[in-house]
Amino acid sequence: MARFGKRSAPTATTSTGPIRGTTTSDGRIAVFRGVPYAAPPVGDLRWQPPRSHDPWSDERACTKFGPSAHQRAAGFEQFFEVLVSGLGLGRARRRALTTAIKLAPTRQSEDCLTLNIRTPRHAADLPVMVWIHGGDHTDGSGAEPMYQSNVLPERGCVLVTINYRLGLFGFFAHPELSAESSDGVSGNYGLLDQIAALEWVRDNIAAFGGDSGNVTIFGESAGGEAVLNLMTAPKARGLFHRAIAQSPSDSGRWLNLNRPMLDFEPATETGQAFAVLAGAASITKLREIDAKTLSALYTDNPHLGRSFYPVVDGVVLPTAPMTAFSRGDQAPVPLMIGYNADEGTLLAGFMHPAGAEFEAPADGSEVPPAAIRAALERSYPTTEQVDRLLTAYPGLGLGDLDARIDHAGDHMFGVHVDHASRCHAEQGHSVYRYHFRAVPASPKQTAGAFHAAEVLYVFDTTFPLVPAADDAHLLAREMGDRWFAFAVTGVPNAIGRVTWPSYRVDDAQQMIFDRPASNVASCSPQDGLDLMRQRIEWLNEQSLTTVRPR
């Protein structure tokens, strides 16, 4: 059990050995950083499922964050450039924020399988909240500043944030790796890391005052997608009891291990192409190459990197997550799920207008209208549906940016929220749906309720140098109350708050999070989302039977 003396550092005994953490300045919260949950996946363990960490006997200092997984970074430079310009800041603040983002130190290593814990000093049998960071499965870490907050633990839970292998090192598939595996598959190492972290929580969280029988997983963007992946992964069943998917993205949702789908090559073929590019004749040789060299090669060849994402392999991910929800194969746990009003503002400018599963020109040039339509006709079963879609998003067929922004938000996030909500509710499971609409404080802002904006409210944190709205703390307090209540009971209602009704297909209600006050409203989808849901069902059939010729 953890020991939290008034003056001594907090300690705990885990299944692999004793550790020591720190406390917050007021002594109320114990913090353990960089706690290993699996062995370093280096050397022969590169591209292997996570293994148990060797035990230690001396007390291990867990006072600093562990290294981040190797980052791809390239796409996120564009993301943050658009964000900084869209916040409505003055020139000096824009310049300072851009510089701060570029100079932010990131210690990267393959030895990245660690987690961080924040727990009240006198914790016992508290609900556990496990955060899975966003970043397109290629970037990010559980140590990012926006997640370093005590507002959830101070309400009475144990908060865990995790690292997992990303991109090339987390989702690389290859026939030789599949042959090594007892399951005959490869590629989902990052997802297996997430499962290993949840197994560690199950086995160890009582030592930190947590209840292993009440674990909520929550995450945003790639982390939201990871939540849905875990809901549909058999190996994760029983490791969590509630799920919160914030803006679950669609990156690689139709990527298959051994066959093409839409614009995705089979993941194993891309792995083989990367090995050739690296000059490695075998996985043994590829494992001998320095991680920094491989990372540079990965970043410099984004056309190959598109396939280093969670992959439908028939075992770890038996089907695409949306297919699993259609068939009722997901975990029957209470689900909170939602997305933001302006998801596409930071993303559409460097995406293919037809969707992220199609590759945009590497030189940043515009996609011709004929190519936009051709991609949509490959993505939808009939030309009539394509015509309706282009009517629903006027200007999309010509590449108009505003239309691309609206379509990107619905295509990448909105339809997955809608489809998962409907399927989960139809199958009799509790669903609580939300729509986040709070915009930056500046009257000059153009980002709107941008992608990931709600994370700052859930954790009650801010961007450095970016002024918050005068009433932002009120919405942050409400969202924190809701997230915590859901973790405790599976129902996101709190004393003094408007009742959040459960979502039903015949009465589609959702919570609107906005300033200065939240409220409940209908969420009946428009024609564009309805068409996209039909597309999902059609692609479900394609992925389970035959693949449309490319």
* CATH number of 434's domain: 3.40.50.1820
Mean pLDDT over each residue of the chain, to the nearest integer = 92
What's the mean pLDDT in 40-50?
98
**Listed range (27-36, 264-273, 471-480, 531-540) with the worst mean pLDDT:** 531-540
The predicted structure's pLDDT at residue 41? 98
pLDDT one-digit tens code per residue, 495-542: 889 999 999 999 999 999 999 889 999 988 788 999 999 999 888 877
Q: What is the pLDDT of residue 76?
A: 64
Kindly give, in sequence order, each residue whose CB lies less than 8 Å from that of residue 543, ignoring residues fewer than 6 positions away. 254, 256, 261, 312, 319, 320, 323
**Domain membership flag for residue 33:** yes
| Range with the poorest average pLDDT among 94-98, 108-112, 171-175, 370-374 | 94-98
How confident is the model at residue 544, as a pLDDT?
A: 58
What is the average pLDDT across 250-275?
A: 87
Partner residues linked to 336 by β-bridges: 244, 432
3 within a domain of the structure (yes/no)? no
Mean pLDDT of 199-210: 98
Once rounded to an integer, what is the mean pLDDT over residues 443-466?
93
pLDDT for the residue 547: 40
Tell me: pLDDT of 244 over 50.
yes
What is the pLDDT, as a whole number, of residue 2?
57
Q: Where in the sequence is the domain holding 205, given as residue range(s)?
A: 11-544
Alpha helices in 393-545 (DSSP H): 401-409, 415-426, 453-458, 472-489, 527-544
Beta carbons of 2 and 207 less than 8 angstroms apart: yes
Task: State the pLDDT at residue 266.
Answer: 94
Residue 338 within any structural domain of the chain: yes
Mean pLDDT of 4-28: 88
Determine if the peptide bond prior to 332 is cis (ω within 30°): no
Residue 112 placed within a domain: yes
pLDDT of residue 46 exceeding 90: yes
High-pLDDT (> 90) share of the chain, %: 79
How many whole angstroms separate alpha carbon 220 and alpha carbon 238? Answer: 21
- Whether cis (ω within 30° of 0) applies to the bond prior to 394 is no
* Per-residue confidence (pLDDT) for residue 5, from 0 to 100: 53
Work out the percent of the chain whose per-residue pLDDT is above 70. Answer: 95
- In the chain, the largest separation of any two C-alpha atoms, in whole Å, equals 71
The rounded distance, in Å, linking the Cα atoms of 166 and 89 is: 32
Residue 314 lies in a domain: yes
For residue 274, tell me if it sits in a domain. Answer: yes
Mean pLDDT of all residues in 101-122: 88
**pLDDT band for position 461 (cuts 50, 70, 90):** very high
Q: 444 vs 545, which has greater pLDDT?
A: 444
Q: Is the pLDDT of residue 73 over 80?
A: no
| Per-residue pLDDT at 418 exceeds 90 | yes
User: Model-level pTM greater than 0.85?
Assistant: yes
- Measured in residues, the chain has a length of 550
pLDDT band at 261; cut points 50, 70, 90: confident
**Cα–Cα nearest to 233, from 314, 161, 177:** 314
Domain presence at residue 336: yes
**Residue 135, both tokens:** 């970043």
For residue 221, indicate whether it is catalytic.
Answer: yes
Query: What is the C-alpha to C-alpha distance for residues 95 and 84, in angstroms, rounded to an integer?
Result: 9
What does the pLDDT read at residue 216?
98
More confident residue, 292 or 254: 292
- Which of the four pLDDT bands, split at 50, 70 and 90, describes residue 550? very low
> Per the structure, how many domains does the chain have?
1
Mean per-residue pLDDT, 96-116? 84
Q: What is the pLDDT of residue 358?
A: 87
The pLDDT, as a whole number, for residue 548 is 39
Nearest to 282 by CA among 351, 399, 179, 400: 179
CA separation for the pair 384, 299 (Å, rounded): 39
pLDDT interval class at 549 (50, 70, 90): very low
pLDDT given for residue 356 in this prediction: 85
Position 311 in a domain = yes
Say which of 221, 251, 307, 518 is annotated catalytic: 221
Distance between CA atoms of residues 436 and 224, nearest Å: 15
- What's the pLDDT score for residue 524? 80
Could you report the per-residue pLDDT of 300-336, keeping only the tens digit for each?
988 888 889 999 999 999 999 999 999 999 999 999 9
